[in-house]
Chains A and B, each alone.
Chain A
Amino acid sequence: MQASDRFNINSQLEHLQAKYVGTGHADLNRFEWAVNIQRDSYASYIGHYPLLAYFAIAENESIGRERYNFMQKMLLPCGLAPEREED
């Protein structure tokens, strides 16, 4: 990388992206990515009221309960993290 490139937007792009929760990087593993996907999904279900209503009807639950459930599931959406293999 040249000296001039060091300060342009491209080199900062990754840094900028890293500020957001849910973005990934080259060392992300399957578990971490899946956690992000799950949380995004739950957030999305909760955020769209019609969808929440749909789930409520399908599961025969109240909408509030559904919302609560989804929120709870966001805590550990994929269960505990697997043991890291030594590398």
Chain B
Amino acid sequence: MDSIDIEIKKAQEDRRKMENVAPLSSVTFDADLYDGNRFEGYERSIAVNEDEEEGDGDASVLARRMASYTGPKSLLDVPRADGEDDSGFKKPSRIIDREDDYRRRRLNRIISPERNDPFASGEATPDASVRTYADVMKEQALQRQKEEMLKAVAKKHEEEKSNKAAAAEAQAPPAAAAQKRRNRWDQSQEADGASAVKKSKTSSDWDAPDSTPGIGRWDATPTPGRVGDATPSVSRRNRWDETPTPGRLADSDATPAAATPGATPAGMTWDATPKLGGLATPTPKRQRSRWDETPATMGSATPLPGAATPAAAFTPGITPIGGVDLATPTPGALNLRGAMTPEQYNLLRWERDIEERNRPLTDEELDAMFPQEGYKILEPPASYVPIRTPARKLLATPTPLGTPLYAIPEENRGQQFDVPKEAPGGLPFMKPEDYQYFGALLNEEEEEQLSPEEQKERKIMKLLLKVKNGTPPQRKTALRQLTDKAREFGAGPLFNKILPLLMQPTLEDQERHLLVKVIDRVLYKLDELVRPFVHKILVVIEPLLIDEDYYARVEGREIISNLSKAAGLATMIAAMRPDIDNIDEYVRNTTARAFSVVASALGIPALLPFLKAVCQSKKSWQARHTGIKIVQQIAILMGCAVLPHLRSLVEIIEHGLGDENQKVRTITALSLAALAEAAAPYGIESFDSVLKPLWKGIRSHRGKVLAAFLKAIGFIIPLMDALYASYYTKEVMVILIREFQSPDEEMKKIVLKVVKQCVSTEGVEAEYIRNDILPEFFRNFWVRRMALDRRNYKQLVETTFEIANKVGVTDIVGRIVEDLKDESEPYRRMVMETIEKVVSNLGASDIDARLEELLIDGILYAFQEQTSDDANVMLNGFGAVVNALGQRVKPYLPQICGTIKWRLNNKSAKVRQQAADLISRIAVVMKQCHEEQLMGHLGVVLYEYLGEEYPEVLGSILGALKAIVNVIGMTKMTPPIKDLLPRLTPILKNRHEKVQENCIDLVGRIADRGAEFVPAREWMRICFELLEMLKAHKKGIRRATVNTFGYIAKAIGPQDVLATLLNNLKVQERQNRVCTTVAIAIVAETCSPFTVLPALMNEYRVPELNVQNGVLKSLSFLFEYIGEMGKDYIYAVTPLLEDALMDRDLVHRQTAASAVKHMALGVAGLGCEDALVHLLNYVWPNIFETSPHVINAVMEAIEGMRVALGAAVILNYCLQGLFHPARKVREVYWKIYNSLYIGSQDALVAAYPLLEDESANIYSRPELSICFRGFHAECYVVEVMVKLVSSSKHGFFSFFLLLAGSRVPDPPDLSGGRRREVPGGASTIANEPPEVAAARRLLPSMHLLRDVLLNLQHEYYRNYGDSAHEYYRNYGDAEDERHACASMMHAVCRLPSAVCRLRASRCVYACMDDG
């Protein structure tokens, strides 16, 4: 053993010498770059919180509160990727990358072991091994003590150090520096020295006899992933067994991990490999293990490249591609050491890549490279020893990226690169990080050999892996299986697998979402079984509550809410109680949030007693603090739902205002603020008890506490009555004004906010504000410094705006108007923004002549002097002021226009753009001031600038022209329209969105209002340009274009435009064609369909798919747009639609069906039923289509028909298939039936078929046969029907009419018409359907029907007398029933209810046929 020690020492010395003496031959790392601690001396991150309680400070609470329940606002703080790549894909983001240090503290938490469930165990004393509530509390107390002790020790150390430092200041620095500069090779050797002692105790594996192969695991198949096996101290297994084979990655992972320094008693035997032929003879050096050299690498951030893959480096000739295989496991090599930082993973990935590129050439490769002849393979000289010190090896390798020329790499199919190994059994791929958790799955072991428990475990792992990494279908089935078998698996195994995954440091958002979803589903199933795991789950889920992602927070709340419902209040409290006074602020913070979720899930009253106890805890201020914080979080989370419990909540926390601990006082005030905010505008009476301490408090406190108190007051004052508000405001204002001068930023913000709140309350008088607040306010806040911080700036503008609402424009604007000429631009901008807000809200009528002058002067100055303005504050301000002043601007307009003109000619594009934008803002005012000439002049100037090359500017210029044209009209426009438009035509070609939009708007405007100023030829030219515009991405542009087609068509007649458009149907691009069809439809709408339809229908004869479809689509849009007008054209297009509905092409039928839909909806109730039924017969066979678009269109067409023809007709079509023997048929028919039923359930009652009774069941509806006879009865029937119709909400009119009129086989005694039949005289007719018989009994003659109708008509016209006159003029001399029916139908069609109208018309129509 001594000898070994000596050897080791010697070797180390050798190496040290080599490194120090010969820096050229060895590597001298630049320690600054390569040393693991290159960040030493830096702050690792900028602390989020100055101290741990800063998180409770106002601003961050505010931010967090905002974040906690508003979606969009939370997004403000989410860091956005600035370098988003153009591909449009977002890389999956890891949670850890966007977390700050505070949030990252979640990783410090430990998933605690499960706890006793007292409900389950009942009376029995829990087993000693089970953690009970008492145990946990005890642990917590111990930890507190420990922490306090450590703090004390640290403090003492600090003191001692500072004492010493004072003494030894002189010598210390150089020594320390030397220490620091030492690179890690030295350090590693120190570690080496330590481990060498241990090592000396055992000899190497190689020396150990192989006498017990069974134990020595020569044969044993190692199970990868079983961490236990990898612990060498237990297993002592020989590493040569583990030469990794492909597919057994995890296996090899185990090796290096096992070899972690310190833990490896066995001698390191890599060097002793017998395969290394040349090295077989042991040299003293060989004894040195390479593992010894780099103990630091494992833990440190920079693992030594090369060290981890010895085989690749050492066995060039033997493992040809083995290097690859061996290289792969390296990243995993460190896995078993526990969690790694993502940086480490990246580093390892990179390292592996480099290793792969720089592996020594194999014999095969060399053979391939050199010619076969002329070369001889030499034996290595006997003295050759391969470089083994990693340091030198590193030097020997060429830089990976230094390849001077690109050579096309030959494909090597054996290589694996980064592609992970195929996982067995259809499992999704694993990321390197996953091996730690799922490694066991890679082991292709016989499942049968495992115990049932292990099998279950593996099953869970498989499912989880599928959920985490699988494809959506895999994920879905796995999730379902997990849910279904949750109780079978049991809570323990499930959570033991899921929760560690959630703590994985490299987790991505999506993965976390999925895993959280698993927990959610499983929770439902497990119910009370989760109790022992509640704390575990909370540890993992609580961090979600403070995540910056809104959805993560919602998810977290949902889980905790479900958890508390499943586990019950008692368990939740027991689980979280110990965390309430945890020493870690992070833990307390998240616990408070979790508690608020519990309160919202189980109700506030349930939690009140507990909260009360916690808030009064004598033991620790932390408990009180957390308790009060819970109340705050409840208020934030539940909003106005706290109102019923407001008084109790206030009572629970009120004593905190006088707490001895400052932090408790602060949080109490903040909680009161939150409660008041949540309760606003109610609940002031609940705050009565805290008013006094609050107002007293603001006199006695300073700093942070004062800020919190002020905040609470700020939120309470708006709840008060006017009188009290005024009184209390005056009370607080003294303090506020004092604090105006506070240098503390946080305090400033709070003061501003409180001022805003106080000022906006009713009771505060303007006079008071003017005299007492304003002078100090402006003196302290309206200073340049305030404009520099974004949040201050905003708050100040808001507060000033609020004050202006009370004291009026003059006071505010008068005070700051001079500052428009301030020399600081940000300050000017702040002034401008305030003026804009105030003036646009309150108008400018208060502003007197002098102020007006100053104002205009100021804005002109500020506008001209601006250098950078991205938010257009100046522009908006200018516009707002000018618009507010209205006609009073007239004297200044020449000056303003001069400025504009001058700036339009500016070199900077931004300035030109702003000038043009300003014109469009003030154009309306210029018109008000009758400055048409000036505008005309500006128009000419703008016209001259149409050659502008910056698209943004050009767009603005066009916008300005549009504004001018809009206000002065086409006739007065200069330059005249006939000059302007030809100049615009080429601009239409511009592809820039802003230009396009403004240009098309302008052109459309001209086409609409002043088309006659431009020759038709020019319009045609524009038409061609417009076709291109249909390709625009922006919908607004396409819409404007399509409308412009309509205007142009109206101006120059549709023929030419239509020809252009129809030609455009032949183009390939779909979007273009679609827009063209829309344009055709619009042309048809504006120029009447008859001008378009013939040409359009003629185009259908072109034997080209796209064209025909385009025509059909145009028809569809056309009928959609023309609505009722369609009744005149429906017969014309029916043959075309017939043809299309019979076409082989699916799209034909689809488009035709949608045309039919629009047609039916348009003409519903207009007497086109015959054509519609005819078309329905063509549509109906398509109900079995499976293509989603087609079936969609067909179903919609049928729905349209339902509206137009009435539900009864469609029902009759349906009845044939509802009980069809083939299920596929039944399914479709029931689908149609269902939509029919949902659409018009009531109307169907009249139309259901008569079912025959069966033995015990009555299916017929005897009520429908009830009728009563006699003349009076008939009159009554008429009356009933009249009422039914005039109530006009239902289809019962149609019901009767249907019974009366439909399907009557025209027997002579019914159609005789004129004679009034003796009531009850109708005889039975052979083969008469029962419903017709019923109808006949009910309404003995058509004559009576006419009476019904006439009565109905009188009733109708009594109600709607206006049109009665018209009716009698048209139909007063109706002679026979048929005519009466026709006229009735007309009347019916005007009934107010569409449904009633439709059905009535349908039935009257049927009568006409029969009668």
Contacts and interface: CB of A to CB of B under 8 A. Distances in A.
B1188 A8 contact: yes
Interface string B1258-1270: 1101011011100
A64 interface: no
Contacts of A82: 1254-1257
Nearest to B1226: A26
A34 B1257 contact: yes
Interface in A44-67: 44-45, 47-48, 50-51, 53-55, 57-59
A69 B1319 CA distance: 29
A45 to B, nearest CB: 7
Contacts of B1284: 48, 50-51
A75 interface: no
B167 interface: no
Contacts of B473: 3
Nearest to B1264: A41
Nearest to B1290: A48
A22 B1237 contact: yes
A24 to B, nearest CB: 5
User: Interface range on chain A: under 10, 10 to 19, 20 to 34, or 35 or more?
Assistant: 35 or more
Given A79-B1257, A80-B1256, A82-B1254, A59 B1266 contact: yes
B1261 A40 contact: no
B781 interface: no
A57 to B, nearest CB: 7
A58 B1267 contact: yes
Given A30-B1251, A78-B1259, A40 B1280 contact: no
Contact of B1192 (A9, A25, A40, A55): A9
Interface string B1238-1259: 1001101100100100111111
A5 interface: yes
Given A10-B1188, A51-B1284, A41 B1263 contact: yes
B1234 A55 contact: no
B1191 interface: yes
A79 B1268 CA distance: 28
Contact of A17 (B1238, B1254, B1259, B1292): B1238
By secondary structure, the A interface counts as: helix
B650 to A, nearest CB: 45
Interface string B1266-1286: 111000000011001001100
A45 B1284 CA distance: 12
Given A9-B1192, A41-B1245, A44-B1245, A31 B1263 contact: no
Contacts of A58: 1266-1268
Contacts of B1191: 10
A5 B1256 CA distance: 45
Nearest to A69: B1263
Contacts of A17: 1231, 1234-1235, 1238
A72 interface: no
B1223 interface: yes
Nearest to A17: B1234
A44 B1238 contact: no
B762 interface: no
B1292 A51 contact: yes
Interface in A21-42: 22-26, 28, 30-31, 33-34, 37-38, 40-41
A78 B1258 contact: yes
Nearest to A40: B1245
B1231 A14 contact: yes
Given A23-B1234, A50-B1284, A34 B1259 contact: yes
Nearest to B1227: A26
User: Interface range on chain B: under 10, 10 to 19, 20 to 34, or 35 or more?
Assistant: 35 or more
Given A10-B1192, A14-B1231, A24-B1234, A37 B1248 contact: yes
Contacts of A55: 1263, 1266
Contacts of B1192: 9-10
Nearest to A23: B1234
A34 B1251 contact: yes
B1279 to A, nearest CB: 9
Contact of A50 (B1244, B1251, B1283): B1283
A47 B1292 CA distance: 11
A63 to B, nearest CB: 13
A45 B1367 CA distance: 33
Nearest to B1248: A37
Nearest to A19: B1238
B1218 interface: yes
A80 B1256 CA distance: 8
A38 B1261 contact: yes
Given A48-B1284, A54-B1280, A23 B1238 contact: yes
Contact of B1238 (A8, A10, A20, A80): A20
Interface in B1041-1079: none
Contacts of B1251: 30, 34, 37
Interface string B673-689: 00000000000000000
A8 to B, nearest CB: 5
A59 B1267 CA distance: 9
Contacts of B1245: 37, 40-41, 44
Interface in B1200-1257: 1218-1219, 1223, 1226-1227, 1230-1231, 1233-1235, 1237-1238, 1241-1242, 1244-1245, 1248, 1251, 1254-1257
Given A8-B1188, A9-B1192, A28 B1261 contact: no
B998 to A, nearest CB: 38
Contacts of B481: none
A58 B1266 CA distance: 7
Nearest to B1287: A50
Given A24-B1218, A34-B1251, A78 B1292 contact: no
Nearest to B1268: A58
Contacts of A34: 1251, 1257, 1259
Contact of A51 (B1227, B1238, B1257, B1280): B1280
A24 B1245 CA distance: 15
A14 B37 CA distance: 64
B1248 A41 contact: yes
B1237 to A, nearest CB: 6
Contacts of A47: 1242, 1290
B1258 A79 contact: yes
Contacts of B1195: 10, 13
Interface of B: 473, 1188, 1191-1192, 1195, 1218-1219, 1223, 1226-1227, 1230-1231, 1233-1235, 1237-1238, 1241-1242, 1244-1245, 1248, 1251, 1254-1259, 1261, 1263-1264, 1266-1268, 1276-1277, 1280, 1283-1284, 1287, 1290, 1292
15 contacts: A13-B1195, A23-B1238, A24-B1233, A26-B1227, A30-B1259, A31-B1257, A37-B1251, A37-B1259, A38-B1259, A40-B1241, A41-B1248, A44-B1245, A48-B1292, A50-B1292, A51-B1292
Given A23-B1238, A82-B1256, 18 more contacts: A9-B1192, A13-B1235, A17-B1234, A23-B1233, A24-B1233, A30-B1259, A33-B1218, A34-B1259, A37-B1245, A37-B1248, A37-B1259, A40-B1241, A40-B1242, A50-B1292, A51-B1292, A53-B1280, A58-B1267, A79-B1257
Closest 10 CB pairs of A and B: A17-B1234, A26-B1226, A23-B1234, A34-B1259, A44-B1245, A50-B1283, A26-B1227, A78-B1257, A58-B1266, A79-B1257
